[in-house]
Amino acid sequence: MTLPRPPSVDKIILRGLHFFGRHGTSAAERELGQLFIVDLHLLTGDLSPAAAADDLHQTVDYAAVYDHVKHVVQGPPRHLLETVATDIIQTLLRQHQRVQEVTCRVSKLHAPLAGRVGLGTVAVEITRSRA
């Protein structure tokens, strides 16, 4: 007896997207702004039809994803990285019907901490699925 195969779940991954934004809890962060780095994992359905047809319209256009993320990060200031990540996720799920789930990590390179962070970053990672 052969077990049914689960549906294919493929991913489109964008890492290290750099954007300038004005997010943070302090007035100085919102006034001066800083660099944010966004990493995305977009779970889609089976991408083999897009690959077989070599057709951008059958997949998720990562250039459009980049533009949507840029619009959010460079948009209105937010106090929390959690809000920035959630705004990105909601935008991507709304704009890209093939995307079933988004994992979004937003990293801040220069968080205002009492000690030195060195080369480390502060980040939030949130995953949400299509309802």
Active site residues per annotation: 108
Give all strands (DSSP E) within the chain, no chain letters: 10-21, 34-44, 99-108, 122-129
Spatial CB neighbours of 38, under 8 Å, sequence gap ≥ 6: 14, 17, 19, 69, 73, 88, 104, 105, 106, 107
Instruction: Give whole-number Cα distances, 9 to 6, 15, 43, 71, in Å.
Output: 9, 19, 7, 27
Return the DSSP state at 90: H
